[in-house]
Amino acid sequence: MGVEIREMTIRDYEPVYALWSKSEGIGLSDADSKEGIKRFLARNPGFSFVAVDSGQIVGAALCGHDGRRGYIHHLSTSQSHRRQGIGRSLVGRCMYALMRIGIGKCHLFVFGDNQGAIDFWEQVGYAQRVELVMMSQQIAGG
């Protein structure tokens, strides 16, 4: 049986959170609480996906949009299943879902020292925006 890619639902939260927690290069915060992810999935139905092998979640990608641009967060493949095309498939599903509703560009954040992920993103068609600096302000906890 092969690896299946299907839409992520809030019922997947615990195994997906466990996968993210084990993944180097993923920064988790209060925004990734069950309530936070529930709200994200409800606001962005049909854009986030999991990879499932024999009933076990082995990959996940959180994706959404603001009506203008798409965003992918926390793409992760379990160590045991890397370099099998799962990351590429998850991203492909996210991009297709965005394209279908007319979103023309997708952004994401990568830690600058996560060279493996940067190489991955370049392989699947992303380009570094070296002319930009990311800025954030804390509004409340989370």
Ligand X SMILES: CC(C)(COP(=O)(O)OP(=O)(O)OC[C@H]1O[C@@H](n2cnc3c(N)ncnc32)[C@H](O)[C@@H]1OP(=O)(O)O)[C@@H](O)C(=O)NCCC(=O)NCCS
Handedness of CA 9, 13, 89, 3 (dihedral sign): negative
Q: Binding of ligand X at residue 87 (CB under 6 A)?
A: yes
- List the one residue from 63, 70, 77, 98 that touches ligand X (CB under 6 A): 77
**Packing angle between helix 34-43 and helix 13-22, nearest 10 degrees?**
110
* Residue 34 neighbours by CB under 8 Å, 6+ apart: 10, 13, 17
Tell me which DSSP letter residue 113 carries.
Answer: T
Q: Which stretch binds ligand X (CB under 6 A): 6-14, 18-26, 37-45, 98-106?
A: 18-26
Q: Binding of ligand X at residue 48 (CB under 6 A)?
A: no
- List the one residue from 9, 38, 43, 85 that touches ligand X (CB under 6 A): 85
Q: Binding of ligand X at residue 63 (CB under 6 A)?
A: no
- H helices of the chain, in order, are 13-22, 34-43, 86-100, 115-123
Size of the site for ligand X (CB under 6 A): 22
Residues that bind ligand X (CB under 6 A): 23-26, 75-77, 82-88, 108, 110, 114, 116-117, 119-120, 123
